[in-house]
Amino acid sequence: MRSKALPAADLVRVRSGIYHDSVSLMRVSQALTALDGVEVAMVAMATELNLGLARELGFDLPEAEPSDLLVAVRAREPDALRAAEAELERRLAALATLREAGGAAESPPRTTRSAAAAAPSEGGRAAVVLVSVPGENAFPEALDAVEAGLSVMVFSDNVPVEQEVLLKDLAAERDVLVMGPDCGTAAIGGVGLGFANVLRPGGVGVVAASGTGAQHVTSLLDLAGVGVSHVLGVGGRDLSAEVGGRSTLRALRALDDDPATSLIVLISKPPAPKAAARVAEAVRALATPVVTALLGPGGHDLTSAAEAVLAALGRPVPDWPAWEVPQDGVSGDGGVSGDGGGGGGALHGLYAGGTLCAEARIIAAERGTFTDFGDDTYTRGRPHPMIDPALRLEALASVPAGDVALLDVVLGYGSDPDPAASLAPAVAEARARGVAVVVAVVGTESDPQGLTRQARAFAEAGATVFTSHARAVRHAVSLSGSTR
């Protein structure tokens, strides 16, 4: 372990021989930052990007290799720094115990192909490879999987589009599916990958060039008692002009051949016209009925897409739950009549989900400003906002009094284990300043965070809460005086 002599309020350490995944380390950083007296804490692998972020925070760093663990903590006084160091050791020890309990192999595989070959599965080999590494390193790992004849989910973002096209063309030759890059969610036979909600099993298959779009539609179906067979994410750019729907077409054929799938839902952000035409032609050739939800002016919104699925199945459309600003300390379920004060000013959409942000822009007809904090611009070197709320907390704190803030909160595995713990106090503070807050919660009752528990926490903080994102947007627009 190497250290530098620093002022009493700073602690910087570089540790060799310790590795943990970025999400686990991010949560350690959050826990340390939350301690009394700690101003900032960064616990991360010492990649060039993370070293640069630490220097931007004002830390003086020793030499480090990307395989080293970097610890950088700043506190207001020495006692707080010692408390942070003790908490750091406790949490790192807990992570080490979890790794040991996982039974890591004595000689771990050194390539994706060898890892897939060694992985136990019912058929004797793995079928799907999940790639979640920095975007500049994702291509060779995904290529290794495809060349081994394996389908691959590329969770990584910031992958050049030229590499995406090459991967998907090779996948067509090998008769496998590339989900991604920037594929946020998938579910294969009930097993969730990436950001995944807990969904009941059923006969609806989903093809989605949209992570949060798929999560929203399937969560609404779950609320209506309808389950899914598979969710095949294809990456947000798949229906762009450059990619041309390569994985969408393959995923549609795969679900058409699946005996467990009786209805297919196709979900996408606004597609390129030629890609949309190719997909429409392919849909007409399928034996399985398809409900198409391609966002755009005059098309379905995500809620109406879920309702179209229910109509196709002959199922009733429920009243999508909503929670009013509490009266007499009790949050009410059902219709929403008001915002509890505030509003009348500009509309600010502060989003974690890219498709939800796109849907908000379309419904609001650009009346307001909408920021997708999950966009590649914001996630380079940072955890996704569904994991780390820091950027959205800053943005919410800057919304002026009298304006309207519109937020999405996406539940499920991979997401913040308790988003209300950090966001609800910020909502209460915004409400105290006279900001009207509208929240759309995407998730199911079976998700680890609990749909109703989260929704009520936001309602008790002063927000009006919807399970239908489209209804949330329309309500927010009605409260605002935005004209742009």
| 230/81 same-domain check | no
How many angstroms separate the CA atoms of 317 and 33, rounded? 44
In a domain, 282, yes or no: yes
In a domain, 106, yes or no: no
Helix (H, G, I), strand (E, B) or coil at 407: strand
- Identity of residue 454: Q
DSSP helix, strand, coil percent of the chain (3-state; round to 5): 40, 20, 40
- Choosing from 317, 339, 370, the residue where a domain stops is 317
Query: How would DSSP label each residue in 80-146?
Result: HHHHHHHHHHHHHHHHHHHHHHTT--SS--SSHHHHHHHS--TTSS-SEEEE-S-HHHHHHHHHHHH
How many angstroms separate the CA atoms of 141 and 144, rounded? 5
In a domain, 7, yes or no: yes
Q: Look at the chain and report how many structural domains it folds into.
A: 4
What pLDDT sits at residue 137? 85
- Choosing from 101, 136, 165, the residue where a domain stops is 101
Task: Give the residue carrying structure tokens 């136990």.
Answer: 120
- Identity of residue 464: T
Tokens (6 digits) for 176: 């496998």
Asked if residues 26 and 383 have their Cβ atoms less than 8 Å apart, the reply is yes
Query: How would DSSP label each residue in 134-160?
Result: -HHHHHHHHHHHHHTT-EEEE------
Asked if residues 159 and 138 have their Cβ atoms less than 8 Å apart, the reply is yes
Asked if residues 382 and 391 have their Cβ atoms less than 8 Å apart, the reply is yes
| 472/327 same-domain check | yes
Angle between helix 419-432 and helix 390-397 axes, rounded to 10 deg: 10
| 120/144 same-domain check | yes
Q: How far is CA 270 from the centre of its chain?
A: 19
In a domain, 409, yes or no: yes
Helix (H, G, I), strand (E, B) or coil at 337: coil
| 18/78 same-domain check | yes
Blockwise average pLDDT, block size 10, the chain, 484 residues: 55 89 81 88 86 86 90 92 93 83 58 70 68 86 92 91 96 95 91 93 96 96 98 95 97 97 93 94 97 83 96 97 66 48 84 93 90 83 82 95 97 93 96 97 96 97 98 96 58
Q: How far is CA 121 from the centre of its chain?
A: 27
| 208/270 same-domain check | yes
Give the Cβ contact number of residue 249 at 10 Å: 21
Instruction: Tell me the C-alpha to C-alpha distance, in Å, between residue 334 and each of 221, 316, 318, 465.
Output: 18, 17, 11, 10
How many angstroms separate the CA atoms of 342 and 209, rounded? 36
Tokens (6 digits) for 405: 């803030």
Asked if residues 469 and 408 have their Cβ atoms less than 8 Å apart, the reply is yes
In a domain, 484, yes or no: no
In a domain, 129, yes or no: yes
Instruction: Tell me the C-alpha to C-alpha distance, in Å, between residue 66 and each of 1, 17, 19, 95, 404.
Output: 15, 11, 10, 19, 43
For residue 445, the number of C-alpha atoms closer than 13 Å in the C-beta half-sphere is 8
How many angstroms separate the CA atoms of 89 and 76, rounded? 20
| 271/326 same-domain check | no
How many angstroms separate the CA atoms of 159 and 380, rounded? 11
Instruction: Tell me the C-alpha to C-alpha distance, in Å, between residue 228 and each of 79, 232, 260, 398, 481.
Output: 52, 11, 9, 40, 40
| 379/239 same-domain check | no
What pLDDT sits at residue 455? 98
| 246/274 same-domain check | yes
| 115/89 same-domain check | no
Asked if residues 181 and 205 have their Cβ atoms less than 8 Å apart, the reply is no
The CATH number that applies at residue 8 is: 3.30.1360
The CATH number that applies at residue 234 is: 3.40.50.261
Asked if residues 229 and 205 have their Cβ atoms less than 8 Å apart, the reply is yes
- Choosing from 76, 101, 126, the residue where a domain stops is 101
In a domain, 83, yes or no: yes
| 329/444 same-domain check | yes
**Structural domain for 151, as ranges:** 111-181
In a domain, 293, yes or no: yes
| 242/352 same-domain check | no
Q: How far is CA 420 from the centre of its chain?
A: 16
DSSP class of 413? B
| 402/275 same-domain check | no
Cβ partners under 8 Å of residue 206, min gap 6: 214, 217, 218, 228, 230, 231, 232, 264, 265, 266, 267
Asked if residues 263 and 202 have their Cβ atoms less than 8 Å apart, the reply is no
Tokens (6 digits) for 123: 């058929």
Helix (H, G, I), strand (E, B) or coil at 475: helix
The CATH number that applies at residue 117 is: 3.40.50.720
